[in-house]
Structure 1
Amino acid sequence: MGTPEFAVPALKELLKEKLNIIYVYTQPPKKSNRGLKIEKTPVHLEAEKNNLKVHHPISLKNEEEYDFFKKINPDLAIVVAYGQIIPENFLNLSKKGFINIHASLLPYWRGAAPIQRSIMNGDKFTGISIMKIEKGLDSGPVMLSEKIEINNQLNYGLLSNQLSILGSKLIIKAIDLIDKNKAKFLEQDHSKATHAKKITSEDEEINWNNNAIKIVQQINALNPTPGAWFKFKNERIKIWKAEVIDQKGKIGTTLNDNLLIACKDFAIQVLEIQRPGKKIQKVKEFLLGYKIPKASELF
Structure 2
Amino acid sequence: MKIAFMGTPSFAVPALKKINEVFKVDTVFAQPPRKSKRGMKELSSPVHEISNQLNLDVRTPNRLNDDLEFFKSKKFSLVVVAAYGQIIPDDFLKECLFINIHASLLPSWRGAAPIQRSLMNKDKSTGISIMKIEKELDSGPVLLKQSLPINIYSKHGDVEHKLSEIGSDLIVKAIELINEGKYEFKEQNHNLKTYAKKITKEDEKIIWNMEAETVVARIHALAPSPGSYFDYNNEKLKIFECKLSDKIAEKPGHIHIVDESLFVACKDKYIEILEIQKPGKNKQKIKEFLKGYKFS
Give the TM-score of the pair, scaled to structure 2. 0.95
- Counterpart mapping for 1:166-245 below 5 A: 166-245=166-245
Aligned CA RMSD, in angstroms, stands at 1.0
Cα displacement (A) at 1:288: 0.5
Match of 2:75 in 1: 73
2:26 match: secondary structure: coil
The amino acid of 1:27's aligned partner reads Q
Matched residue, 2:93:
91
Q: What is the Cα deviation at residue 232 of structure 1?
A: 0.5
Give the aligned partner of residue 262 of structure 2. 259
Asked if 1 retains the 8 angstrom alpha-carbon contact of 2:51 and 2:57, the reply is yes
Report the counterpart of residue 59 of structure 1 in structure 2. 63
* Structure-1 separation of matches of 2:274 and 2:27: 45
Aligned mates of 2:292, 2:39 — CA distance in 1? 31
In 1: Cα distance, 2:39 partner to 2:291 partner: 33
Partner of 1:30: 34
**Conservation of the 8 A alpha-carbon contact between 1:229 and 1:236:** yes
How far off its partner does 1:255 sit?
2.2
> How many residue pairs get matched?
288
TM-aligned CA deviation for residue 152 of structure 1: 3.6
Match of 2:164 in 1: 164
Structure (1 or 2) with the greater strand fraction = 2
After the TM superposition, list the runs of 4 or more consecutive aligned residues in structure 1 that deviate by more than 3 angstroms: none
Contact 2:115 2:156 (C-alpha < 8 Å) held by counterparts = yes
User: Which whole-Å CA distance do the structure 2 matches of 1:281 and 1:20 have between them?
Assistant: 44
- Residues 1:274 and 2:277 aligned together: yes
TM-score (norm 1): 0.94
Deviation per CA, 1:18-42: give whole Å up to 9, x if none: x231110000000123332211000
Overall identity of the aligned pairs, in %: 53
Mapped pair 1:44 → 2:44? no
How far residue 153 of structure 1 moved from its aligned partner, in angstroms, is 3.3
Distance in 1, matches of 2:201 and 2:183, equals: 41
Retained in 1: the 8 A contact 2:153–2:217? Answer: no
Shift of 1:151: 2.9
Alignment deviations for residues 74-102 of structure 1 (CA, whole Å, 9 cap, x no partner)? 110000000101011210212xx000000
SS at match of 2:251: coil
**Tell me, what secondary structure is at the counterpart of 2:223?**
coil
Secondary structure, counterpart of 1:6 in structure 2: helix
The separation in 2 between residues aligned to 1:152 and 1:121, in whole angstroms, is: 9
1:4 aligns with 2:9: yes
Paired with 2:146 and 2:271, the residues of 1 have a C-alpha distance of 33
Task: Report the Cα distance in structure 1 between the residues aligned to 2:25 and 2:264, rounded to whole angstroms.
Answer: 52
Question: Is contact 2:153-2:216 (8 Å) kept?
Answer: no
Q: Which runs of 5+ in 2 are unaligned?
A: 1-5
Deviation at 1:189, TM superposition (A): 0.5
1:9, CA displacement in angstroms?
A: 0.2
Please give the alpha-carbon distance, in whole angstroms, between the structure 2 residues aligned to 1:162 and 1:33. 29
- Measure how far apart 1:291 and its partner are: 1.0
Letter in 1 for 2:28: V
Match of 2:290 in 1: 287
Partner of 2:24: 20
Paired residues of 1:22 and 1:52 also in contact (CA < 8 A) = yes
Whole-angstrom CA distance in 2 between matches of 1:34 and 1:164: 30
Match of 1:297 in 2: none
More displaced 10-residue stretch of structure 1: 118-127 or 35-44: 35-44
Unaligned segments of structure 1, at least 5 residues: 294-299
